[in-house]
Amino acid sequence: MEYSSPVCHSPHALCSSPVKKKLLLLSIMFLVWVYMLYSCVGYCSTMPSLVVDGYRGRETGAAVAKRTESGGTDLVSRLMSKPQPWEDIESDYEEPSIRTAASRDLLDDELDADRGDETWDEVRGAEQQQRAPEPSAMSSFSNGSGSKKMPQAIIIGVKKGGTRALLEFLRVHPDIRAVGAEPHFFDRNYDNGLEWYRELMPKTLEGQITMEKTPSYFVTREAPARISAMSRDTKLIVVVRDPVTRAISDYTQTLSKKPDIPSFESLTFKNRTTGLIDTSWSAIQIGIYAKHLDNWLQYFPMEQILFVSGERLISDPAGELGRVQDFLGLKRIITDKHFYFNQTKGFPCLKKAEGSSKPHCLGKTKGRTHPNIDPEVVQRLRDFYRPFNMKFYQMTGHNFGWD
């Protein structure tokens, strides 16, 4: 029997040579690899690209249209058109840098915003050191960190009336974003321009209210016209307090920083013998509320101004905060459950401060012990303020019970 090696009689015949089998297997594997690469490229072309230097911005409208017509999905447009679940998270991430600085100045008594002698540059520098980290690429992509707006509501006064307490209580509300320190824009920094002012504001989302407080606005003659020029719809809040008690508190604050100043009695009168009150002294002048309010009513209707009782802010903080929330058009979220009365300090504190799990009280500059004032001087001041108080009650339609 004869044996012979296989012979291919045709170029199209499948030969059983091991070499040819290996070549066939490699060819098949190569085809599979090419197919998989093609499929991957086709899929990846529909994904959003976070490429630096704005590649997305350079893509032409024709290219986008062609890709859409070919069945691709413009995923970037689809994502941006829908509210993203991280929007609220990003806004809360941005805000604490501002709020933490404000809380620290309150607790450590480094920035007593009611002092009136604090320059905004010093305050601003402290806040800049506490600036939040730069937003991540995902944050920028979602655009969920909000935007800076002019304040829709301003606490305009009065000094030593309880403005700091009101602001800190309001910051508990999730729909309120406020500057911690006093901008003093409409009295001291107006020449810096509105864009400078806007940059001081925290970022807010749709439906949130931007606020600031500067108590000296109420007694600044130019402030009403300037705020009206910014927006006639601005809501104004004034915290008022018995003008006699307020004047003594004002003096007490100054005395804590300048122990060598004259006595309260000597500053109160132009002439102690005649009993003529010195209205040029700011501690006395601020309490003539009717005079200052008349200036504001030249530019704002009464319904745009809310008067908060400094006394009731201590005795019934939840009740006063309820009025403020109604005035701002917000849901009453801040209630009795947020407060407890601190017997040592003599005023209410927050059970849980914004951004903290610990109770929060105003700093040691609040609740100072007043010096003993001659009762005769106190009575003369009450007699002096009485007609102005009556006029103020008439203008506001509210009796604050100071007499």
- Residues making up the binding site for 3'-phosphoadenylyl sulfate: 160-164, 241, 249, 366-370
The DSSP line for 57-99 is: HHS-HHHHHHHHHTT---HHHHHHTS--TTHHHHHHHHTHHHH
Tokens of 280: 């040029």
Buried b or exposed e, range 99-134, using 16+ CB within 10 angstroms: bbbbbbbbbeeebbbbebebebeebeebbeeeeeee
The DSSP line for 335-354 is: -GGGEEEETTTTEEEESS-T
In Å, how far are 49, 64, 70 from 45, measured between CA atoms?
A: 9, 11, 12
Residue 290, burial from CB neighbour count under 10 angstroms (0-12, 13-18, 19+): middle
Positive or negative, the CA dihedral 14, 19, 23, 24 is positive
Q: Which residues on neighbouring strands pair with residue 360, listed in sequence order?
A: 350
Q: Which residue has the tokens 């008349």?
A: 294
φ, ψ for residue 232, nearest 5 deg: -70, -15
Catalytic residues: 160
CB contact set of 225 (below 8 Å; sequence gap of 6+): 299
Tokens of 128: 């800049």
- The amino acid that residue 102 corresponds to is A
Per DSSP, 290 falls in state H
Distance, in Å, from the CA atom of 308 to the CA atom of 306, rounded to the nearest integer, reads 6
